[in-house]
Structure 1
Amino acid sequence: MKTSEVDILIVPGWQDSGPDHWQSRWERNLRTARRVIQQDWDNPDVETWGDRMAKFASGATQPVVVVAHSVGVAAVALAADKLKRNRVIGAFLVAPADLDHADFWPDTGGKRWPPEKGTRGFETMPERRLPFPSHVVVANNDLYCSYARAEHFAGKWGATLSDAGESGHINIESGHGPWPEGLLQFGQFLKKLG
C-alpha cells in the first residue's frame, strides 16, 4: 500500500505534538493524514481518548493506519478493539511511553506524570495482542521506555520491532522534527500491509 491508499490517523501522546514534531510535519505533508484532536491533552482519559480515536477512524474513506507516539501508543493499544471495528488495519507505534515506569520519566516542561487530575485508565501498559498488524520503533536510549521493555511490549502485541539507535524519545527534544528514517520505515510498513 501507499500513503495515498490509506487514511493516516496521527495519534500524539500526552500534551500533544508541537508544530515542529515529526507527527505534525507528516500531518502537513501527507495528503491523507489527519490528527486526532483530544479535548484534554494534559489529563488523558482512556475511554475518552479511545472514543475520540474511533470517531476519527469511523469518518475515514479508506482503510486506516494509525501513527502513534509516546502515550499515544498506549492509547492505541488500550483502544485496539474499538479501532479495529472502525477500519483500522495497522499501527505504526513510535517511542512508547512505559506507563508502568513513569516514575523514571524526565520532567516535561515542568509537568510530571501522572497529571494532577489523574490519568484514568492509563495506569498500566496493555499487554494483549493487537487485532491488526503493528510495528514498534524505539531508541535504545529512550528515557520514557527502555529497549528491553519495548521489546517485551512488541512481543505481547504481536508487533515487529526496530531499533532507532541513539534517538532518545524521537521527538523535538531529541532532534526529530524532520524524521526521514521514520518516513522510510513507515513506507516499508505500509508495503507489508498490502
Structure 2
Amino acid sequence: MRDESIRYLIVPGWQGSADEHWQSHWHRTLPNTARVEQQDWVTPRRESWVSELELSIASSADPVILVAHSLGCITVAHWAAAAPLELLGKVRGALLVAPADVERIGCPEALRNFAPIPRQPLPFASQLVGSDNDNAASAARAIEMGGNWGSDTAIMSGAGHINVASGHHRWEQGFAFLYRLQNRIEQHGRRSA
C-alpha cells in the first residue's frame, strides 16, 4: 500500500457528520480524502445511499479505504453484497465505526428500510469498532456483525455511539484503528504478491 495512492472515503451515517464530528475532522486532516454526500440525510433510502456510495467509489482515480460511521457501516455492507467485481477491487479496506443495528427493537423508523443487515463476509479487510454502551448497537450485536463480516473487531469501554454526543470530536484514538487496518491491508498485499 505504501507504493500506491489511497483515497480515504468518508461514509457518514444518519443525518450526516456535523463539522464537529470526528469524520469531518478526519476529512480535513487526512490527505486525499473525499466524502460521500447523500441527497437526503434525514430520511435515508437504502437504494439511494448505496448508489451514492458506489458513485463515489467509481469516481475515485485511486483505490479507496472506506471510513464509515453508524448507518454508513450498514450502507457499506449492503453495497459490498451486490457491488460489481471491478468496483469491489478498488476498495482496499473499511473502518466500520459504531455500526447501527437497524434490526434492533426501538430502531428509528427512518432506518428500518436498511434491514435486514447483510451477513456475508466483506470481500476486503475491515476493522469494526464498537462500544459497550452504544444505544445504536449493543456490544454483542457489534461483535456479531463483525464476525459475520470477517472484521477485526474491537469494543471500546464507555465510548457511546462514538460521535459528538459521546464526546468524540477529533477522536485521535481512532487513528490507531485506521493504522491497524492499514497494516492488515499491507500484510495481505505482501502475502498475495
Per the TM superposition, whether the score is higher than 0.5 is yes
**1:97 alignment partner, one of 95, 100, 105:** 100
> Please, which moves more after superposition, 50-59 or 79-88?
79-88
The whole-number CA distance in structure 2 between the counterparts of 1:160 and 1:141 is 19
Deviation at 1:33, TM superposition (A): 1.1
- Provide the residue aligned with 1:75 in structure 2: 75
The C-alpha deviation readout for 1:93-123, integer Å capped at 9, x for no partner, is 00011011150x5xxxxxxx123xx754x12
- Provide the residue aligned with 1:85 in structure 2: 86
- 1:12-161 mapped onto 2 (5 Å cutoff): 12-80=12-80, 81-82=82-83, 85-86=86-87, 87-103=90-106, 113-115=108-110, 120=113, 122-161=114-153
Aligned residues, how many?
182
After TM superposition, where is structure 1 displaced by more than 6 Å over at least 4 residues in a row? none
The whole-number CA distance in structure 2 between the counterparts of 1:166 and 1:174 is 9
The whole-number CA distance in structure 2 between the counterparts of 1:170 and 1:83 is 31
Structure 1 stretches lacking a partner, 5+ long? 106-112
Deviation at 1:84, TM superposition (A): 5.5
The whole-number CA distance in structure 1 between the counterparts of 2:54 and 2:154 is 27
Do the aligned residues in 2 keep the contact of 1:44 with 1:119 (CA within 8 Å)?
no
RMSD: 1.7
State the secondary structure of the residue aligned to 2:173: helix
The whole-number CA distance in structure 1 between the counterparts of 2:85 and 2:125 is 11
TM-score, normalization by structure 2: 0.88
- Provide the residue aligned with 1:180 in structure 2: 172
> Please, which moves more after superposition, 12-21 or 85-94?
85-94
Do the aligned residues in 2 keep the contact of 1:139 with 1:147 (CA within 8 Å)?
yes
The C-alpha deviation readout for 1:163-194, integer Å capped at 9, x for no partner, is 22110000000000010110121012112212
Deviation at 1:132, TM superposition (A): 1.0
The whole-number CA distance in structure 2 between the counterparts of 1:21 and 1:43 is 20
Structure 1 residues 9 and 91 mapped into 2: Cα distance closer, same or farther (>3 Å)? same
Structure 2 stretches lacking a partner, 5+ long? 187-193
